[in-house]
Structure 1
Amino acid sequence: MHTAPLAILGLVYVSVVTGMTLQRRAVDFFDPAQGGGSMFDNATYGGEPLNVIISGLSSPDVLTDGGVLNYAKVIGFSQECLGFHLGAPQTANLGDGNGSRNQTVEFRQDFGNAIFGSCFESLLGGNHFRIFRQNGPSANSGALFLAASKEKDASTNHDLVGDGYNIGRNELVAAAVGTKSHGGVTYNTVATNITGLMPVGSDGVNHGIAVDGIVTLLTVTVQ
């Protein structure tokens, strides 16, 4: 188990672009706080925890838009119902020099139906997650930061269930770990829990729901 908030560094790649140094390292992720960012995104009534990270050391194809869509489907999630997103997108600052940016995409639990299943989640509630990509000029890990949570049905305006952030993370990780296939691609996922990246408790957290301070790092390898 990792106990420090520092990312694991590997080989270093440096490129010079118009006289500026672009940081690109083979690394799990960079701690957003080191670049003035946060492990919480910006939501309506506080921040939502970025409680899962898909490592920058995962297979490169997994970290692309199309690759993470296929991976989402293998772990039981799909695009939002008929491609529609309700509400404003949330933003996050990952400390990579990009400042606060909109979420890349949002996926919802599909209950085994990749076409219409996410519509059931929108109506009946379930798990969902937002993705933010760390790819700015000062900390370009390529890692995907996920804000996972479990919500109630539409009649409650999608309020979260009690302990919804920890539950959302745990259910996503449980669905991901191991060897699974979708769309002709087989993935192996290894999970590692990290402490020290985010505080414990409910101070400043959206909906006032406490978090346990654990971030789970997923390393996804295409077989």
Structure 2
Amino acid sequence: MFSLRYLGFALLALRASAGPIAKRASAYFNPADNGGSMLTNAGTLGEPLNVIISGHSSPDVLSYDGIVNYARAIGFSTECLGIHLGGPQSADLGDGNGWVNQTAELREDYGHPDVGTCMESAIGGNHFRVFKQDGGDANSGALFLAASQEEPSTEHHTISPDGYDVGRDTLVSGALGTTSYGGVTYSTTAENVAGLLQAGTNGINHDIAIDGIVSVLTVTIQ
């Protein structure tokens, strides 16, 4: 006669043979936990990585093409005529890849994704650099962004007063809720996280103080 006890043993064996249940990917890893930094390398000093697009976001957002399309949905685009102004910055996200140059730099497009960034290059505005945490030591897939508000070309694109916090807040304000571009619709939520960055000016480029807050965005394709 088939016993309930035998059935229980059979189910336990089946579960064991199936292996461990896969865990959901981490939203991000703190770079400092593995020798990295929440500041880019901009020369002697660095710029704060003040926005993170969570690894819990839709995977298609976390690729190069994905972040470019998402950027266009929230008011940014690629650089004017594909010409990069200034040298690229690098970041060590504690994922084992060491210091890696930015994946992309996106600029405010003033409502014109094709040519609007030429205006940003001339009169200033918001922009952000993108770095991906995908090394074998901390593979969250998250995108770390260094957002800032910059002055016009006549001021050599220096960062505006309070420009790091302003750049972060402006980006997040335009991203929250539902946005779309190129036939793709996004839903974005945000959480402010303290403790990843140190408030103040220590190590910060241009000696501009920051409040130490990082905004973590979770972007879902609808």
Q: Could you tell me the TM-score, scaled by structure 2's length?
A: 0.89
The SS at the match of 1:26 is coil
Residue of structure 2 equivalent to 1:16:
none
Structure 2 unaligned blocks of 5 or more:
1-20
Residue of structure 2 equivalent to 1:173:
172
Alignment partners' CA distance in 2, 1:128 and 1:195: 22
Q: Is the 8 A contact 1:201 1:212 kept in 2?
A: yes
TM alignment of 1:1-223, pairs within 5 A? 12=22, 26-223=25-222
Show CA shifts across 1:36-72 (max 9, x none): 0010001134110000000000000000111111100
Q: CA RMSD in A?
A: 1.0
Q: Is the 8 A contact 1:45 1:207 kept in 2?
A: no
Instruction: For 2:183, give the aligned amino acid.
Output: G
Alignment partners' CA distance in 2, 1:206 and 1:12: 41
Structure 1 unaligned blocks of 5 or more:
1-10, 14-24
Instruction: For 1:33, give the aligned amino acid.
Output: A
Show CA shifts across 1:94-145 (max 9, x none): 0000000000000000000011100100010000000000000111110000
Alignment partners' CA distance in 2, 1:49 and 1:60: 24
Bigger helix share: 2
| Greater radius of gyration (CA) | 2
Runs ≥4 residues deviating over 4 A: none
Q: Could you tell me the TM-score, scaled by structure 1's length?
A: 0.89
| Number of residue pairs aligned between Structure 1 and Structure 2 | 202
Identity of aligned residues (%): 59
Alignment partners' CA distance in 2, 1:76 and 1:44: 28
Shift of 1:84: 0.8
Alignment partners' CA distance in 1, 2:167 and 2:44: 19
Shift of 1:203: 1.2
Shift of 1:160: 1.1
Alignment partners' CA distance in 1, 2:192 and 2:33: 20
The SS at the match of 1:27 is coil
Bigger strand share: 1
